[in-house]
Amino acid sequence: MTATKTGRTVKIAIIGSGNIGTDLMFKALLSKRVEVVAMAGIDPDSDGLARARRRGVATTHEGVEGLVKLPGFDEVDIVLDATSAGAHLHNDRVLREHGKRVIDLTPAAVGPYVVPPVNLEAHLGERNLNMVTCGGQATIPIVAAVASRVPVRYAEIVASIASRSAGPGTRANIDEFTETTSRAIEEVGGAERGKAIIILNPAEPPLIMRDTVYCLVDDCDEAEVAAAVQEMVERVAGYVPGYRLKQDVQFDRLPAGEPLPTGERTGGVKVSVFLEVEGAAHYLPAYAGNLDIMTSAALRTAERLAEVGA
């Protein structure tokens, strides 16, 4: 394989020829650290498979079973799964038998949750890495940034995405989205309790992804928390250029006795962060920032594995 300055180029295969898998392929084709050698789908007439063939990528419409039969599959280092939570359980079992590392873009959560700027370095040795959800990739870095300065008693995120950017896979995984994201807010973000809400916005023309993060904390140094959030936004924007704050971080002091979402304690400070995620439009429309941040996070993970030679 072609050597890079800090690692090597790894060969990857993509399962899923829908919107996410195809956008991931376009991004990966621009990368200097990964080489796309195969794409698997289940629809022989899918746009994703047609585009892959035109770019010299080996294809199969027989899913993971077809993928493992393709010439050169033994040389694949990492398989990225952009199907659905249910399909991933089967795909992972097959890939495990072949000893392949997997980056999971579904909410299946077979492996540990990974949010690149928060905890990727701790999981570089894992066989299966789970990318949580689009809402998780957008908001968990912010929860973690706040938690790095003050304990977060409760964190709630609201991800609003264009209805037109939510394909069959996204719609089939709504329950998994909320459950997986809520758990990851706690396990990765560091909140004592977490809650996730997703809104499919039918507005026309479609609106780009908007995310709101609420963190309930005790007294804090507002300047320190705001600086931590800004630093994290810049880190995420390093691989998702359309990721940005919509306005300054807001702090609201809640008086004792006021009802809180936790139903357990009162008072404290509510930290509110408002985000916008615009897609890079490599394949998907710019308003589909929810899909763009998933594919960008997955590619970032694959490139980091290449850098360390994992």
Q: What is the phi/psi pair of residue 274, to 5°?
A: -115, 120
Which of 111, 128, 165, 109 has its CA nearest to residue 293?
165
The reply, when asked if residue 289 is annotated as ligand binding, is no
The reply, when asked if residue 173 is annotated as ligand binding, is yes
The reply, when asked if residue 197 is annotated as ligand binding, is no
Active site residue 220: no
The reply, when asked if residue 78 is annotated as ligand binding, is no
Reading phi first (left if > 0) and then psi (alpha if -120 to 50, else beta), residue 89 is in: alpha
The reply, when asked if residue 42 is annotated as ligand binding, is no
The reply, when asked if residue 184 is annotated as ligand binding, is no
The catalytic position among 37, 76, 80, 134 is 134
The reply, when asked if residue 17 is annotated as ligand binding, is yes
The reply, when asked if residue 20 is annotated as ligand binding, is yes
The reply, when asked if residue 18 is annotated as ligand binding, is yes
The reply, when asked if residue 297 is annotated as ligand binding, is no
Residues in binding site:
17-20, 165-173, 290
User: Catalytic residues, which ones?
Assistant: 134
Residues in binding site for NAD(+):
17-20, 165-173, 290
